[in-house]
Amino acid sequence: MSVHATLGFLPDEKLFREERPYCLKFEAPKGLRRTNIQAEHRRQIIEDIRGREKDFNLDKNGFALVPFHTKMAYEDFENEDKIVTVYMTEVAAVIQQLVGAFRVQIFEYIRKQHQTFPIATGEAYEHNQPTTMVHIDISKDWARRLAEGLNHKIDMHDLPSQNYRFYNLWRPIRGPVKDWPLALCDNSNLNVHEIEIGDVVFEDFTINNEYIRFSPEQKWHYVSDQQASEAWVFVQGDAKPHTRHGISTSMTVVVFGLHARKGVPHSSFQLRGNNNDHVPRETIEIRALAYFEDDSQPL
């Protein structure tokens, strides 16, 4: 069953032809806005894939819903040591088996949700909150720099492979998800002109992500009542140039058939119509780098 929901897109403004979209992740200095983005909110049809999960896969759509079972108890997700030693090992194994990589390198995890979201309490949240702006986590240049940073002790040319791809694995710590589920855009319908590189600025470093402009051609999907035993795995960047059917692509573009594609745009959205007697959403997102043989085509 499809739902109508509001997603936040980058507006098509002249401003962004002159400066990059940016967002500060700290208190802005006097005279500087925390962000120069005023989201363009669009009502969008988001298709529920429940019952048709196997119709969607990494090769065709850039995302897949896969079974996931963990040894971690709910309370273990407050223990960083267990997340690193147990959960990350489980995630690496799932990604490696799913995509056929010979090595998976986990580089970040993010806990999300506070039961008062989206109402601000005036106090700092213990965990990050659902993201309501459509985005891709990394740009092509940042993907390369990140890989270099993760492997700074060796020359990049000495890596086991120059063919690597970034993936996210996103799942609820407990389910079912009744509020703020994740929406994913089929990246076969994503046009490069809809993508704009942005800066996410922290006090001591800056990362580059990609914001997305609205297009009526975009196709959005979610899964209703997502359980803790179900995980989204989706592509966020590709680091090997590919040539297929005479089309030469840039460092992070994923090529399937005749179409060059990038990472999967995604965002949380408010699922209206549910009452408040459900457990607030709590999720964990893992970001990983998967290495492939140089002559292979990763999923």
pLDDT tens digits along 243-298: 433 333 333 333 333 233 479 999 999 987 665 667 788 999 999 999 888 666 66
**pLDDT of 218 over the 70 cut:** yes
Highest mean pLDDT among 45-54, 108-117, 184-193: 45-54
Q: Look at 47 and 29; give whichever has higher pLDDT.
A: 47
Q: What percent of the chain has pLDDT over 70?
A: 79
Instruction: Give the separation between CA 76 and CA 87, rounded to whole angstroms.
Output: 9
Least confident of 71-80, 102-111, 112-121: 112-121
Q: Note the pLDDT of residue 145.
A: 80
Under the banding of pLDDT at 50, 70 and 90, the label for residue 138 is: confident
Residue with tokens 């005749």: 258
Under the banding of pLDDT at 50, 70 and 90, the label for residue 158 is: low
Range 3-292: architecture per CATH: Sandwich (2.60)
DSSP E strands in the chain: the ranges are: 3-9, 22-24, 40-48, 63-67, 103-112, 135-136, 163-172, 182-185, 195-201, 206-212, 220-222, 230-238, 243-244, 247-248, 254-256, 259-261, 266-268, 283-292
Under the banding of pLDDT at 50, 70 and 90, the label for residue 119 is: very low
Q: For residue 282, give the amino acid letter.
A: E
Q: Note the pLDDT of residue 125.
A: 34
**pLDDT of 68 over the 60 cut:** yes
pLDDT tens digits along 165-201: 899 999 999 989 998 999 999 999 888 889 999 999 9
Least confident of 32-36, 124-128, 167-171: 124-128
Instruction: Give the separation between CA 69 and CA 93, rounded to whole angstroms.
Output: 11
Report the predicted TM-score, pTM, of the whole model to 2 decimal places: 0.84
Region label for 78, one of left (φ > 0), alpha (ψ between -120 and 50) or beta (otherwise) = alpha
Q: What is the mean pLDDT of the chain?
A: 83
Under the banding of pLDDT at 50, 70 and 90, the label for residue 132 is: confident
Map out the domains of the chain as residue ranges: 3-292
> 260, 248 in Cβ contact below 8 A?
no
Under the banding of pLDDT at 50, 70 and 90, the label for residue 299 is: low
Q: Note the pLDDT of residue 127.
A: 34
